Amino acid sequence: MGPLSSLAAGETRLDWDSLFAGRIARMKASEIRELLKLLDRPEVISFAGGIPDPALFPDAAFRDGLQAALSGADRGQALQYSLSEGYRPLREWIVGRMASLGIVCDVDNIMITSGSQQALDYLGKLLLSPGDTALTGWPTYLGALQAFNAYEANYDRLVPGDNRSASAFRDAAEAKGGRAKFIYVSADFANPSGETLDLSERQRILALADALDCAVIEDAAYQSLRYEGEEIAPLLALDIARCGSIEKARTIYCGSFSKTLAPGLRVGWVCAPKAVIGRLVLMKQASDLHSATLNQMAVDHVARTVFDAQISRIVATYGARRDAMLKALSAHMPQGVHWTRPAGGMFIWLTLPEAIDGAELLAQSLQREQVAFVPGRAFYPDAGRGNAIRLSFSCADEGPIAEGIARLGRSIRRAMDAATPAAWKTSEPCARSL
């Protein structure tokens, strides 16, 4: 380098905002996170966190799995760099799991990710050029919106049962300067709505994807947590059934061990045609080389030894908590409040009278009733509707659920009493989400 005039000490301070890439403007801090910092107080009954109950983690199996990984002949492997595709025995176990869901694939259709959040990030990176559109219902999973926002996604809203044509979606995407690249869908017990798509809705989504010639991203994070009714085939299974092979499918399935075994190890997977997996493997190599080897080995051990027993255990516990929350809602909610009745998962979505804002209700509820939840607006890509909240039943026992919902009922009544009579107007339940 040539001679350069050095600036005097203290004079320089980089204007970072001017240096950041254009996409950074779309990454914003979540208001929820700030609110949720208040929830650590022991007197608060919280229905806010969308997280599994740590009391249900199979710790002993993880201890055994980690011990085995670090003691056996593979102990060098456990701490060493490994393949971007993931630990082969775990991928083989997942192939069997997928087969049990009606998805016939082989090990080369599976890549391990650091949780299914990473799969969503990678799929945004893979598919979205600036200006492109992602189709999704909303309210929808906040983390999906955060992942896709980083690639400057536009959004268009899918509402089950409405009559909008494929060409209307296509035209809207083109008007925004791009193309509809995928439909994002959480078909079972979605976060935050708790709702499940029936078979005909799944078929319609695949048909719409055909008409748009786009991909489908199936977020299956909660799929194993069913408390009643029959399993409905995943979109990828339906897609394979009609086109004959996963290699011809347009659906990309994102699985996770976070809700079944434990989230802290960050192990999930993508199941997709090899044309997609091959690109994702390159992406993973460039972005973090591979998910932690040791964790994949531990999850492999735990999955092989306790997966089915673990599912039975958490389904029994969370199912009872869901029942307790639904019963308490019936007992304590005033007229004009509506809620979903999830067949599984962790969430109930509650729609308030129109004039009641979920964020204001949270502030009041925390202060006067020591009960917490997540205001609904965060789950919309636009300003959204403020008169809804998400309740999670995964982390509270049945006693605190009954007490917390009673507190919430009082808080909502108080908000209705404080508002003008217009606030009493019964709101339509939010349109069902994907």
Neighbours of 43 (CB within 10 A): 5
73 touching a copy of itself, by CB under 8 A: no
Q: What residues numbered 87-126 form the site for a copy of itself, per CB under 8 A? A: 113-115, 117-118, 121, 125-126
**Judging by beta carbons within 10 Å of its beta carbon (0-12, 13-18, 19+), is residue 392 exposed, middle or buried?**
buried
Task: Find the binder of a copy of itself among 71, 330, 367, 426 (CB under 8 A).
Answer: 71
Cα-based distances in Å from 411 to 83, 118, 358, 416: 53, 38, 11, 9
Q: How far is the CB of 358 from a copy of itself (least distance, A)?
A: 21
Cα-based distances in Å from 308 to 67, 97, 98, 106: 22, 11, 14, 22
Q: What share of the chain is helix, strand, coil (3-state, %, to 5)?
A: 50, 10, 40
343 touching a copy of itself, by CB under 8 A: no
Q: Which stretch binds a copy of itself (CB under 8 A): 101-109, 160-168, 230-238, 376-384?
A: 160-168
Q: Which stretch binds a copy of itself (CB under 8 A): 149-157, 343-351, 372-380, 404-412?
A: 149-157
Residue 71 or 330: which CB sits closer to a copy of itself?
Answer: 71
CA distance 181 to 173: 9
Task: Find the binder of a copy of itself among 46, 82, 154, 256 (CB under 8 A).
Answer: 82
Q: How far is the CB of 404 from a copy of itself (least distance, A)?
A: 21
Residue 22 or 421: which CB sits closer to a copy of itself?
Answer: 22
**Judging by beta carbons within 10 Å of its beta carbon (0-12, 13-18, 19+), is residue 299 exposed, middle or buried?**
buried
Site mask, a copy of itself, residues 166-195, x = CB under 8 A?
A: x--------------x--------------
Q: What residues numbered 374-433 form the site for a copy of itself, per CB under 8 A? A: none
309 touching a copy of itself, by CB under 8 A: no
Q: How far is the CB of 233 from a copy of itself (least distance, A)?
A: 15
Site mask, a copy of itself, residues 251-280, x = CB under 8 A?
A: -------x---xxxxx------x-xx--x-
338 touching a copy of itself, by CB under 8 A: no
Q: Which stretch binds a copy of itself (CB under 8 A): 153-161, 221-229, 378-386, 425-433?
A: 153-161
Q: How far is the CB of 78 from a copy of itself (least distance, A)?
A: 6
Please, what's the b/e burial string for 315-347 (b: 16 or more CB within 10 A of its CB; e: otherwise)?
Answer: bebbbebbebbbebbeebbeebbbbbebbbbbb
C-alpha closest to that of 97 among 275, 237, 297, 278? 237
Task: Find the binder of a copy of itself among 41, 51, 231, 309 (CB under 8 A).
Answer: 51
**Judging by beta carbons within 10 Å of its beta carbon (0-12, 13-18, 19+), is residue 134 exposed, middle or buried?**
buried
C-alpha closest to that of 225 among 257, 254, 199? 257
324 touching a copy of itself, by CB under 8 A: no
CA distance 87 to 109: 13
